[in-house]
Structure 1
């Protein structure tokens, strides 16, 4: 249920496909996520359209019959935006815009728009602008639809191409300028990180909207912005945290998402330096989400991309207060029990049990099991600290002794 807002929400329709690699359940889940993205961006989803296909139509993504259905709905309901769940090619976007006669976005464009809204600092704005320029460059031809109608006119073709090439050169120059600006800010931030001394660094990582910022607020007693929307945090926030008398640095990083645009992974790699340079990762997972295992895989793939998948990691399964397994009828011999029916105790006996003490189950909102969480983090940070400063470990006695 969307909250009432002062501004009127943009009416939008969502369009996805069902393929052999993406069944109906998976397609529905992606569209649920796309709807949440649309809401975060300021849109109101009024309808969804899906079509079963072997592969997307290279010209219009979906078939002509389904496209007519979408077109009629948009016309009848005065919808201003059509959002596709996968990235569209420049040609597809151009063809669809002509048919639907409305604003056409794909998942990448939508995520870029949210990032643009959420970017607060100069650094985040620069990274978003770079990603937008890299997304725009191959699509510039579509911006010149006013020339296409005159393509056959005498003397019109040359100037049209010249204008497009001029724009391409401007965008390329802009990309080079933004990359240089990011390199400069990176150097400044590297100096700042160096000035923090040799304190142990701990980074919160995880899928978007899993409760990283809420957990950071609870642990560091700070007021990091947290909201039930995707990508509430773009800028990395670093806080000094003390558990008992052991200080360390805790950083809250940008959340990941499936089908994360390549441009964003590239432009935000520098923001993820906090993850690269961390001594310990706290991988926060929303265990109440029905497909949290897929979220874990998505995060691990990006960690692998930035060469941070081999760091010491504690899996923090958050939102246990919201976890509700689907009911299962033991007497129904025709039904088969799936992971959707697992209780938390049953989950703990799966692969989570093999992680052992590196699997924690908490509720950051209700502050459930936070003492166990703090103790585990304390133990791991203390171990790293002793390795780094072998002669100072007597300053940090065991957690159990301090709590007597």
Structure 2
């Protein structure tokens, strides 16, 4: 049960669909994540609606009967927002708003809202604002539902076209201005990265809420914001870290998520440049999450999209203190044994064994197995440093001081 703080949570409803590509198990899993996103944004989920449908309704995404069921629940329970797990077209969003008469969001809009809340620096706020405007632009017609004539042409000219086109022009101008601003900041950040010298660069990457910021705090002894919510960190934090007598730069980056909006991938290009320019990636995984293998696949997909799939990587399986496999009684012959019942030792003997010493199992919060982690990172950074500076008389101690 999620702990509620003394703030007003908005009543919300979640909607997902079972299709030919999404079975019931997958939809429930996605809705679990969507509920956590909703909680992070300040909402409390009152009910979930799931419909089995081969092809989403082009007008309202879900079928007429299910929409009537949702409409009745929204009216009776003071629902402020209805959130769809998949991205809606501008027409679908407009049609649903007319029917339900409340705020309609999809996963993309919800993530953008969280990012807007979490952005702390001017740079992050500019990135989020750009993504929001690019998301808003094709949906502007929905803001003018009181006007019948929305397109030009014979018999269709009028104030509707004028106001909408004016609005679109304002948004396009704002997008152009934000892109120009980001280009300028990107050049400044590129100069900053260049001024860091030839120090080895290590980047923490991973799914959102896997403990990257907590690990960053432990390694660098810094106070990076960490919280048990999705997207606690938006701004890339870079710290100089020294293990033994070997210095390197460690960066904490924005967390990835399934169905990450393309607008955000583009807007956060410079943030992801920290990943592109890293010499070593520490791919942090929450092994206590039941779907951590899919999280790994999602992160690897995004790393591939930004050209980092072949980078030297260490898999860091975090939160081992919270990993509790399901148990089966010895006399239970009916329950099928699955990966949910694997112990950590059994996981290590699966595909993890192919990774070899590139798989580490730790608890950043409880500082378990950090000596092994520290030694492994030290060895990797040292190898990169020796390759970069073959004639540097660096002393590499056999025994490292503790954190």
When normalised by structure 1's length, the TM-score is 0.96
Q: Answer yes or no: is the 8 Å Cα contact 2:150–2:161 preserved in 1.
A: no
Distance apart, 1:336 and its partner CA: 2.5
Distance apart, 1:297 and its partner CA: 0.6
Tell me the residue number matched to 2:266.
266
1:57-206 equivalence runs, <5 A: 57-148=57-148, 157-206=157-206
Q: Answer yes or no: is the 8 Å Cα contact 2:244–2:397 preserved in 1.
A: no
Tell me the residue number matched to 1:209.
209
The worse-fitting range, judged by mean Cα deviation, of 328-337 and 36-45 is 328-337
Tell me the residue number matched to 1:229.
229
1:37-48 equivalence runs, <5 A: 37-48=37-48
Tell me the residue number matched to 2:12.
12
Find the aligned partners of 1:358 and 1:117 in 2 and give their Cα distance.
36
- CA pair 168-340 structure 1, distance change in 2 beyond 3 A: same
Find the aligned partners of 1:132 and 1:402 in 2 and give their Cα distance.
47
When normalised by structure 2's length, the TM-score is 0.96
Tell me the residue number matched to 1:387.
387
Distance apart, 1:56 and its partner CA: 1.2
Tell me the residue number matched to 1:301.
301
Q: Answer yes or no: is the 8 Å Cα contact 2:149–2:156 preserved in 1.
A: no
Q: Answer yes or no: is the 8 Å Cα contact 2:285–2:315 preserved in 1.
A: yes
- CA pair 48-372 structure 1, distance change in 2 beyond 3 A: same
Distance apart, 1:169 and its partner CA: 1.4
Paired residues, number: 400
What are the superposed Cα offsets for residues 7-37 of structure 1, whole Å, 9 maximum, x if unpaired? 3111101111111211111111110111100
Find the aligned partners of 1:130 and 1:27 in 2 and give their Cα distance.
30
What are the superposed Cα offsets for residues 261-299 of structure 1, whole Å, 9 maximum, x if unpaired? 111111111111110000000000000000000000110
Tell me the residue number matched to 2:317.
317
Distance apart, 1:401 and its partner CA: 8.1
Distance apart, 1:4 and its partner CA: 3.6
Q: Answer yes or no: is the 8 Å Cα contact 2:204–2:251 preserved in 1.
A: yes
Find the aligned partners of 1:31 and 1:200 in 2 and give their Cα distance.
40
Find the aligned partners of 1:4 and 1:128 in 2 and give their Cα distance.
27
1:275 maps onto 2:281 in alignment = no
Partner SS state of residue 191, structure 2: helix
Find the aligned partners of 1:260 and 1:236 in 2 and give their Cα distance.
18
Distance apart, 1:5 and its partner CA: 2.9
Find the aligned partners of 1:323 and 1:249 in 2 and give their Cα distance.
30
What are the superposed Cα offsets for residues 98-139 of structure 1, whole Å, 9 maximum, x if unpaired? 111111111100000000000001110000000001100110
Partner SS state of residue 301, structure 2: helix
What are the ranges of 5 or more consecutive residues in structure 1 without an aligned counterpart? none
What are the ranges of 5 or more consecutive residues in structure 2 without an aligned counterpart? none
Distance apart, 1:333 and its partner CA: 3.7
Tell me the residue number matched to 2:290.
290
What are the superposed Cα offsets for residues 342-401 of structure 1, whole Å, 9 maximum, x if unpaired? 111000001111100000000000000000000000000000000000011x42325348
